[in-house]
Amino acid sequence: MSKRVCITDFFVKKVPRQELTQSIIVNVKTNIEESNPDNEYSCSSNQIHHEHVHYDSQVSLFDIKLYVGQSQKLSNKEKIEYFQKTWTPQSIFVFPTSEFNKKKLKFQLSWLDKWKWLAYSQINDGAYCKYCVIFYKTEGGIGSQTLGNFCLKPFRMWYKAIEKFNHHEKCNYHLQSVEQYQNIVAIETGKQDSIDLQLNKAAKVQTELNRKIIIPVIESVIFCGRQGIALRGHRDFGTLTTENPVENDGNFRALMRFHLNATKLSGDESYQLARTNCAKNAQYTSWKIQNEIIGSCHEIILSEIVNEVNNSKCFSVIADETADVAGFEQFSIC
């Protein structure tokens, strides 16, 4: 019988930092043995400690290899911390050599100064991109290909190092990772609002602008309806401006123009700016919009009348019969 699927199985479980740190410490030796079958480096869990405790350890807790594929388990603050504390070899560090075409090559410490995004892993003698590892995506490039070197796999082809380094820092997914890091730092330091807050603020601003556009339209239609004034004129179409037209464009547009000019003279130019900057298909001045507003007013008035009748103790019905021009009797009920 297959295991019953729960909705929580589809979400990534948040791993506490202490638990994550302990799991990293336990797996350091495994990572070293997998990357170096000849046991070139040795390490024990009691040799690895946080940066604030000074011990002689061969492998740092902030080795970039330990955070490959761990991005989703880290909070934004932890990502920034691990990015800034990524282990960097000292000048006395001896890099292992690898043979390529009968030439012995190795990682150069000067590369870290030239390419600031570069990080070296002591565990598997490979180069990674700090941005792409900690702020990684599993896919990128043309056709959303699976990412490999510098991101999920170590780069070790030292004879092509400069060429590959220059190519990687121009890739779109690398630039996106750098931008993501900058955004997270700005959010955590208070220089920028979070994405949710930005979206909420943008939605609120857009709502206010939309109201400044539609409210004068509704008020003009209601005014014409109350006074029994016709809305449309001879040239009742096109973009509404505050200048008086040569031909009469109707009572509705004249009222709209009067409202914009009156608010501007009173010192409030927000209504005019909102209408000037809105899209041409968001003017809300067409005859279709006017009819929709009239229909909404009809429903509101009818609903109030029905509620008033239903709430009254009694009501009367008036009937009248009148003959039309053809001589047929027409019976109406009020």
* 98-108 mean pLDDT: 86
Please state the pTM of the whole predicted model. 0.43
Q: Which residues pair with 145 in a beta bridge?
A: 140
* 57-65 mean pLDDT: 77
Q: Categorize the per-residue pLDDT at 13 as very low, low, confident or very high, splitting at 50, 70 and 90.
A: low
pLDDT at 90 over 50: yes
> What is the per-residue pLDDT for 297?
92
Q: Categorize the per-residue pLDDT at 62 as very low, low, confident or very high, splitting at 50, 70 and 90.
A: confident
> What is the per-residue pLDDT for 296?
92
Whose CA is closest to 119, among 94, 155, 145? Answer: 155
pLDDT at 121 over 50: yes
Whose CA is closest to 283, among 332, 231, 217? Answer: 217
pLDDT at 9 over 60: no
Q: Give, in order, the Cα–Cα distances in Å from 18 to each of 21, 28, 30, 74, 82.
A: 5, 16, 19, 11, 14
Listed range (11-15, 277-281, 300-304) with the worst mean pLDDT: 11-15
> What is the per-residue pLDDT for 53?
31
* 11-25 mean pLDDT: 51
* 136-163 mean pLDDT: 75
pLDDT at 27 over 70: no
The C-alpha angle with vertex 109 and arms to 151 and 100, in degrees rounded to 5, equals 70
Say which amino acid occupies 326.
Answer: A
The pLDDT tens digits of the residues spanning 184-219 come to 888 777 666 666 666 677 777 778 888 888 888 888
Q: Categorize the per-residue pLDDT at 66 as very low, low, confident or very high, splitting at 50, 70 and 90.
A: confident
